[in-house]
A and B are shown apart, each in its own frame.
Chain A
């Protein structure tokens, strides 16, 4: 089983991202479970969502994910509080560079904010970055196809799907390892 953590702030589309990711893996033939973490959710407060996937077994775990195998960090101000497994994967949304963290996790960087703004997705104060980050995660994870991601974006986003798929594509192409 792989556990994926999506970490951002309320309004960044964390919940929708998790749901989309679960759908992508479902189309890939995995057993999937999407578990949002609910608390006093509001715009700007930390928001987390978790996806569990398993190639073979039905997923019976019905409790919060403690330390994910892989994390996608939507907002760098949250970095200090995010845990990831030893030798796991962390995908960070960041424009510049980041100093090597005290972790064995492989770190990947993508500038989802700039990609979103270049396509006029959202505003400078609140760029819509979830589809870009899913595109980057598609490259980093390597266990689902971009086509299935595009299919889910079409299903879930409707009329703005094309521009979101474009964002995902740009992020897929530009994500790099630290």
Chain B
């Protein structure tokens, strides 16, 4: 004897529980990993010279916070990042939009950008040191280079992707060049430009860490590098942790900025 009952799963609640489970796993996995790490370190299953217990890293982090060392190095790196993003991003934005709007400008700069883009940005650090010396200039320059390329490329792509009907509207309503730039090209390309900025700032963060490891006296990269030299592994982890936090906060911040300056995408 057999009875079969087929019950249709209520779809929505199922989908919700899946999402809730996903979120739970997302929070649980790093916690579990840290716990396993902590236990393994205390039981000497792993080499604490390379993988110090999270608790000892936190202890060093608190020390460094108290001494002000962590804050000052973080601020120095952030300042370089901000200046570099500005110095690289603004000209890239203007050039990129000009390339999108004008085929002659595009014809002139496209090959230059295509040729220099594939060069690994970290490879020009020695050149940057040669030109700008050991001071702030070389660090800011590296970030600027990292931000420049994704922004210029995305600005051009963004403008070229604007539906031609909008440019026709601009022409029909007699918008001049300047008005076309402000009312059509810039806002029309802004979503793509924003993702260029996000990408560029991510690259900038990588480059600032590298640049500060060589010939710098401050910054998070310098902090990580000196930790290697003095073999203070906990400090190294503090530096890595700080960079991860900066990356995360910047992502959240840029998403908020995007929501603010692109209100027409909001729902």
Do A and B come together as binding partners?
no
Q: List A residues at the B interface (Cβ < 8 Å).
A: none
